[in-house]
Amino acid sequence: MEREFGDVLTDSWDEFKKNWKLFFKIFLLFYVLPFIIVFAISFFLQVPIQEKFTLIEAEEMGFGELSGDFWKSVGIVGILSIIAGLFYLFTSSCFYFHSIYSKNKQDFGKVVSGGKKYFWKYFGLMIVLFLFAFIVILIASILSGILIFALRSVLVLAILLVVLIVLGALIVLIKYFTSWALAPYFLIAENKRIIDSLRNSFSLVKGNWWVVFAYGIMLGVFILIINIIFAIIGFIFLIPFGVLSVVSGAEVSGIGFAGQLIDGIFSLIVTFITVPIGIILFKNVYLDLKKEKGNGKKEENEENEEEKKEKKKVKKSKEKKKKK
């Protein structure tokens, strides 16, 4: 890629600033509200769950004796978390659609309709990626278990081989997930099928793998910096509660809730900033690589045309010589 990361990030930030209101509406309705519901219910169900575990420890009970309210609470929180995850995927689908078609006039209704249109394909893509990661990790785990069992008498060698297997699995995951990083853009921008999107992404990234990987690393560093900044701000917000606890010699009522609430709010702010910017940034990478590949093909075609012209000239000159 010809452009530097700083240039692409600046363009992505400018695009986010221009469209932040629409991003915020989608984020508020389809991510924040489900998050608040899950947070509130989880918080109120947390106490009975903790009390049940205390009872288990006190009476040395087994999991077989757990029933009633405990499993009901865990089940409700689990189901709500899955639903919240689906809403997050729908939000991402809307963000991808909006970032790709941001040059066209977009309103809330159009973006939501676009998100709906591609949601199940996007969900399917995420399932495929999850299954791929799961299979790689499962194979690595099975091989590691077999090696540890077979070489239990030579434990050092077994551990060394397990480390190599884990590193190998990690390399495979990094290689393919980097190569497939642009699949959502083929899925939505070009309405490709899931497998075709993965194949086209792999083909587009090929030859620029290290560039795309470096962009992913630098984006990760950017997100980490944002997280650190807001973590520091959150800590500053909690200082008054800590001071009151020290002065009064007792825990201030509600400090646990306040801590979770502040952490939740800043987590939402970080997500709202980093997710759209990340999507926009890789959209720009996708467009830049498409442009470069297109120019490359154009130059290749021009070279082929020049070769054909040269061959025709040579052929004509030979024919003239024969006539003479």
Which residues have CB under 8 Å from 129's CB, separation 6+? 177, 180
| pLDDT cut 90: percent of the chain above it | 51
Q: Confidence class of residue 301 from pLDDT cuts 50, 70 and 90?
A: very low
Rounded to an integer, the average pLDDT of 16-35 is 91
Q: What is the mean pLDDT of residues 18-36?
A: 91
Higher-confidence residue of 133 and 311: namely 133
- Statement: residue 304 has pLDDT above 60: no
* Per-residue confidence band for 302, with pLDDT thresholds at 50, 70 and 90: very low
The predicted pLDDT at position 165 comes to: 95
Confidence of residue 192 (pLDDT cuts 50, 70, 90): very high
pLDDT digits (tens, 9 = 90+) for 114-150: 999 999 999 999 999 999 999 999 999 999 999 888 8
| One-letter amino acid of 301 | N
pLDDT of residue 299: 42
The yes-or-no verdict on residue 183 having pLDDT over 90 is yes
pLDDT for the residue 312: 65
Which pLDDT band holds residue 172 (cuts at 50, 70, 90)? very high
Question: 194 or 293: which carries more pLDDT confidence?
Answer: 194
Picking from 139, 214, 221, 225, the residue whose alpha carbon sits closest to that of residue 181 is: 214
pLDDT over 60 at 250, yes or no: no
The mean pLDDT of 105-117, rounded to a whole number, is: 91
Q: Write out the two tokens for 299.
A: 């130059």
- What is the reported pLDDT for 231? 86
Find the distance separating the first CA and the last CA of the chain, reported in whole Å. Answer: 53
Query: pTM for the full model?
Result: 0.79
Q: What's the whole-number mean pLDDT along residues 200-216?
A: 94
Q: How far apart are CA 259 and CA 242, in angstroms?
A: 11
**Are 48 and 73 a contacting pair, CB within 8 Å?**
yes
Q: How confident is the model at residue 36 (pLDDT cuts 50, 70, 90)?
A: confident
- Contact between 227 and 270 under an 8 Å Cβ cutoff? The reply is yes
C-beta contacts of 113-117 below 8 A and 24+ residues apart: 114/188, 115/26, 115/90, 115/91, 116/90
CA dist 235 and 239 (Å) reads 6
Tokens for 268, please give them. 């939402």
Q: Report the 3 state secondary structure along 153-203.
A: CCHHHHHHHHHHHHHHHHHHHHHHHHHCCCHHHHHHHCCCCHHHHHHHHHH
> What is the C-alpha to C-alpha distance for residues 121 and 267, in angstroms, rounded to an integer?
28
pLDDT over threshold 50, residue 83: yes
In sequence order, the 6+-apart residues with CB closer than 8 A to the CB of 68 are none
pLDDT in tens, 263-300: 778 888 999 999 999 999 999 999 999 998 875 554 44
Distance CA 170, CA 68 (A): 41
Give dist(CA 299, CA 295) in Å, integer. Answer: 6
